[in-house]
Amino acid sequence: MGQSRTILNAVLDSIAVALNDQTIVYEQYRQNPVEIESRNDIPRARISIYEQSEVVTTKVDAEFANLARTRYGIDISVLRAYNRDDASKGELPLADLKDAIVEWSKTFDASTATTAYIYTFGYEGSTSITRNPRYVTQTLNFSSVRDLFSNQTNPT
């Protein structure tokens, strides 16, 4: 198992423990909000984390990548029953989940949770809310400092 998978697992597990909500589906991939519309396996909400982009910030020795700024997206999608439901059925529960995740990020010890594969994990902002017939979705953006010098394919 590689470091990228280890990081995603650790972050998502920590969020799931912090939220402690059995009506949320936790996943590790981005899905277009339009594609989520056809899903019937989401009881109330879906939270998904995925890697967005990575830029090497520090190189050592013979130009080996040492540290990188890695961006992660966390999608929150909340199920609404009907197309004309007001904000109390979609946007407001989404805002509650967003606030809970932002609060969680303030206390998340990224280095310990990921065995120092990432050193930091900080909130950078969010996208606007997408409102589709059944779901409302928003992406929260996070940034981390990632260790690329250690073995990436066989973490201990």
Residue 31's identity, in one-letter code, is: Q
Domain contains 67: yes
Domain contains 156: no
Q: What is the CATH number of the domain that holds 140?
A: 3.30.2000.10
Domain contains 93: yes
Strand duo 64-79 + 130-131: pairing:
unpaired
* pLDDT value of position 46: 98
Domain limits for position 97 = 3-147
Domain contains 119: yes
Report pLDDT digits (tens) over 73-90: 999 999 986 667 788 888
d(CA 46, CA 33): 11
Number of independent structural domains in the chain: 1
pLDDT confidence band for 156 (50 / 70 / 90): low
pLDDT confidence band for 57 (50 / 70 / 90): confident
* pLDDT value of position 40: 93
Domain contains 154: no
Domain contains 130: yes
The two tokens of residue 16 are: 């799931």
Domain contains 152: no
Domain contains 155: no
Structure pTM? 0.91
Q: Of 117, 108, 119, 128, whose CA–CA distance to 16 is shortest?
A: 108
Residue carrying structure tokens 């590689």: 2
Residue 76's identity, in one-letter code, is: I
Exposure on the CB side of residue 34, measured as CA atoms within 13 A: 0
